[in-house]
Each structure stands twice: as C-alpha cells, then as structure tokens.
C-alpha cells in the first residue's frame, strides 16, 4: 500500500499509524487476506435519506450496506466482541457502519468503542459516516483515538445532490432538495478537513449512479484529494428493493473499474471493497457473521436495563414522514417500538380541532376526546404541538415529541427520549 501524505504533503504517516493501517483490511490490499474485521450494528438511526438506500433488519440473505440481522446494545456488543475475538485471533479491526449512521447514534457508538477499548486496547477502530455531523463530532473522534474514518461523498453540487438525497434531518430541522444537499456537502468538506488536520486517515466512498453523478465523480475525487483524503472507493449502485432507485440499472464492474483507472492518477483507489453488511464479521471475502448472530437470552439478561416496547401515536399523512401538526390530525397511526424493532399496530380516527390561528376550536370536549383516544400510548410523535396540548398530554402520562424526520427515525428518537425519562443512567446502555 502506498504511504499516504496528509494535506498538501505536510507530513508523512507516522510509523505507528502505518503499522496500524497495514493491519486494516479496508485500507490495505494485503491486509484483507490476513486480518478480519468486525462491524458492530449499534447505530440504527440515520439523519439523511439516500435514494439508493433501504435499510432492513432481520435480513440474513442480503449482503450490502445498511443490512443487519440484529441491532446491538453497547453491552451486548462487548459480549459479542469477546466471543468473536476468541474464535478469530486474526481480528484486527472493529468498525461501525450502521445500519444507520454512526454519528447520528454517537452516544451508543462512543459507549461501544470505550467498552471494547478497555477490554482490548490494541484493537483498531474505524467509523463510516455520511459526514453530516462530522463538524460537530470531529473532536470527539480525535479524542477517542480513532485513526480511520470513511466518509461517503457522492457529489459536490447541490443540484446533483438533490437527485441523490431525499432529505436530511439536521439540528432539529428537516431539509429537502438542494438546501439539504448544500448543508450535507458543506459539512462533509469541513469534517474531512478537520479529521485530516489531526492526522486521521480518511477514505471517501462514492456511489456511482448512472445518469446522475458518473461524469461528476472525477471532480469529487480531485476535491477530496486536495482535502487530504488517503484514498477513494468508487462503488457500484446496488438497486435495493424498496428504495427510490430500486429500478435503476446496477452499475457494472467494468464501468466502475474504468472510472477507478481514470481516477487512479489523482489518488489511490480501493479495488477490493465488498460493500459489506452492517454486521459483517471475518475476512472481507469470507463473511462469517451468520455464526455469531442472535445473542443468547442468558447474555441479554446481563444488561442493566432490558428494553420494553413503547406505544406511540404518530401524526403523519402517509405513514412515511412526521408531517402533520397535532391539532391538524384526523387520525393517529399507532406503532410499538423497543428501539430495535418497529411494529405498526393500527390507525385510529380522531377529531381535527385546529383549522388555523383564527378558527382554532377551543372546545374542551374535543381536546379531551382526542387524548382519550390515545390514553394507552406512551407518547405522541408529531411535527408540531402547542404548549397547552403538551401539558394536557403530560397530565395523562403521555410525552410529546416533535420531529420532521421519517416515521422510522422519529420513533427511534421517541424511544431514546422515553428511555432517558425512565432511567437517565441507562440512556447510553440500550439503543
């Protein structure tokens, strides 16, 4: 593997980092035949929606990013790591690549790394991220001693990004179109800059999508090279069933390799990527995660706080986005979640009591009837809710959570909040 220089060739990789990187199968061509990696699926929530992505849990027959058969807590991750390490002495890397985004689940990701680091100080840790939160957590990554970070950068122009990303959920706000892409791209560039300036090796993944970003990719490569990235990994689009791009043609490896050859003159290209699952274990070419799935019940009992299912009433037009005001809802979609699984229960009709600032119905009976229809719920997930309505719900023991994300992301957020309310000390221990 080529020695990598930092931005503008300011300094060469240290001897210690070079030895570490030589044992990282994603960063070293030689290492992927000798050393195993373990992906910890501890990050279920994602803060952006890519049109090529459809995350499935309990999917053991697919091998692609975003797929896992289970989501782990930090405590169970440690237990599973110990078992894998015992059976795979050549395990050199613990990575976190989803099934959502590592930095959208930073508390549990950080907790998982700290637990394993205490058990095995010599283990190499790496993260994969979309980069949206890199400027905010870059210093945390540096302080944690992580030396390898992969950032997925598919474009530099918001107009192209609007075709790739449906939305982002950033700092409590929901953005779509070019506005979303512009924020994401800006944070990716700033985040890579921060990491490189502190000696962290950055690999940039790029999904090659026909008729969208193919001609633009060489420009992306040149840009991240100038920022100091170590290498790029141009990957073929996998048209995932259920995704917006499910009917797109899959990019052929002949096309991918031709583009890699073109970009090789600018920066080193990763050519051995397997587009791994979020729970992959073993050599890159020999995933053995199936041997280590589903932690036994007696192991789960060791967790300090066992997850329970919470029932949540959601205001949503089409059960995709949290896009309705509490007072505008004519029905509630009822879900249950334990922070890992999400179950749709039913849809319940309710009374729409607010028709705008002028015509808002102040009838107490209607407001009480709305709450009576969801008294068995632990929380309401809604786009907006007034202070008075929040207080009415709280008097009935129902929490109110505002979100503009997808229903799935919003439900995971509700779970975090309810768990924290129930036991603040457990907030980092169970997803």
Q: What is the pLDDT of residues 241-256, one digit of tens each?
A: 777 888 888 778 888 8
Which of 264, 279, 300 delimits the end of a domain? 300
User: pLDDT, tens digit, for every residue of 261-320?
Assistant: 888 888 888 776 655 677 777 665 565 656 666 544 343 333 333 457 899 999 998 888
The span from the CA of 81 to the CA of 75, in Å, is 10
Higher pLDDT, 248 or 378: 378
Whether 151 contacts 188, CB under 8 Å: yes
Do 208 and 340 have their domain in common?
no
pLDDT at 158: 94
The span from the CA of 97 to the CA of 284, in Å, is 14
Confidence of residue 223 (pLDDT cuts 50, 70, 90): very high
Do 216 and 325 have their domain in common?
no
Do 276 and 327 have their domain in common?
no
Across residues 157-161, what is the average pLDDT?
94
Please report the sign of the dihedral spanned by the C-alpha atoms of residue 188, residue 193, residue 199, residue 203. positive
State yes or no: cis peptide before 99, omega within 30 of 0. Answer: yes
Residue 330 placed within a domain: yes
Which residues make Cβ contacts (< 8 Å) with residue 294, sequence separation at least 6? 69, 70
Confidence of residue 32 (pLDDT cuts 50, 70, 90): low
pLDDT at 381: 95
The span from the CA of 114 to the CA of 144, in Å, is 8
Q: Which residue has the tokens 């950033």?
A: 170
Higher pLDDT, 119 or 305: 119
Do 58 and 156 have their domain in common?
yes
Tell me what the pLDDT averaged over the chain comes to: 79
Which of 272, 300, 328 delimits the end of a domain? 300
Mutual orientation of helices 134-144 and 177-197 as an angle, nearest 10°?
A: 30
Residue 32 placed within a domain: yes
Do 364 and 251 have their domain in common?
no
Q: Which of 112-121, 145-154, 283-292 shows the lowest per-residue confidence on average (mean pLDDT)?
A: 283-292
Which of 267, 282, 300 delimits the end of a domain? 300
Whether 133 contacts 140, CB under 8 Å: no
Do 226 and 204 have their domain in common?
yes
CATH number (domain holding residue 363): 3.30.420.130
Confidence of residue 377 (pLDDT cuts 50, 70, 90): very high
Q: Are strands 173-176 and 124-129 parallel, antiparallel or unpaired?
A: unpaired
Do 282 and 402 have their domain in common?
no
Q: Looking at residue 156, what DSSP letter applies?
A: S
The span from the CA of 107 to the CA of 129, in Å, is 15
Domain range for 334: 310-426
Structurally, the chain folds into a number of domains equal to: 2
Closest by CA to 199, choosing from 332, 21, 78, is 21
Tell me the whole-structure pTM to 2 decimals. 0.64
């Amino acid at each position: 593997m080529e020695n990598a220089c930092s931005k503008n060739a300011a300094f060469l990789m240290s001897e210690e980092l070079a030895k570490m990187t030589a044992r990282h199968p994603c960063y070293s061509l030689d290492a992927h035949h000798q050393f195993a990696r373990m992906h910890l699926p501890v990050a279920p929530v994602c803060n952006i929606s890519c049109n090529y992505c459809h995350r499935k849990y309990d999917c053991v027959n697919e091998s692609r990013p975003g797929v896992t058969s289970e989501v782990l807590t930090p405590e169970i991750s440690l237990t599973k790591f110990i078992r894998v390490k015992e059976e795979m002495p050549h395990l050199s890397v613990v990575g976190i690549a989803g099934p959502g985004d590592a930095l959208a689940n930073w508390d549990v990701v950080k907790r998982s790394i700290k637990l394993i680091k205490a058990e095995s100080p010599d283990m190499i840790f790496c993260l994969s991220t979309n980069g949206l939160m890199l400027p905010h957590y870059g210093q945390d990554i540096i302080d944690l001693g992580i030396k390898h970070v992969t950032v997925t950068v598919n474009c530099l122009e918001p107009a192209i990004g609007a075709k790739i990303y449906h939305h982002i959920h950033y700092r409590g706000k929901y953005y779509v179109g070019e506005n979303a892409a512009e924020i994401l791209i800006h944070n990716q560039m700033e985040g890579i800059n921060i990491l490189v300036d502190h000696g962290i090796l950055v690999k940039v993944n790029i999904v090659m999508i026909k008729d969208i970003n193919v001609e633009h990719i060489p420009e992306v490569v040149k840009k991240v090279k100038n920022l100091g990235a170590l290498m790029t990994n141009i990957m073929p689009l996998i048209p995932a069933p259920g995704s917006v791009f499910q009917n797109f043609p899959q990019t052929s490896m002949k096309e991918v390799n031709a583009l890699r050859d073109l970009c090789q003159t600018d920066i080193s290209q990763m050519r051995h990527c397997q587009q791994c699952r979020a729970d992959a274990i073993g050599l890159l070419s020999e995933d053995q995660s199936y041997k280590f799935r589903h932690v036994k019940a007696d192991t789960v009992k060791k967790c300090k706080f066992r997850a329970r299912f919470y029932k949540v009433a959601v205001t949503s037009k089409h059960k995709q986005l949290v896009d309705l005001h509490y007072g505008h809802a004519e029905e509630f979609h009822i879900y249950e979640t334990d922070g890992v699984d999400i179950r749709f229960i039913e849809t319940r009709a309710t009374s729409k009591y607010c028709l705008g600032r002028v015509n808002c119905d102040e009838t107490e009976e209607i407001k009480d009837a709305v709450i009576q229809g969801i008294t068995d719920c632990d929380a309401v997930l809604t786009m907006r809710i007034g202070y008075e309505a929040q207080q009415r719900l709280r008097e009935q023991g129902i929490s109110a959570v505002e979100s503009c994300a997808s229903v799935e992301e919003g439900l995971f957020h509700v779970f975090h909040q309810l768990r924290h309310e129930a036991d603040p000390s457990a907030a980092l221990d169970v997803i």
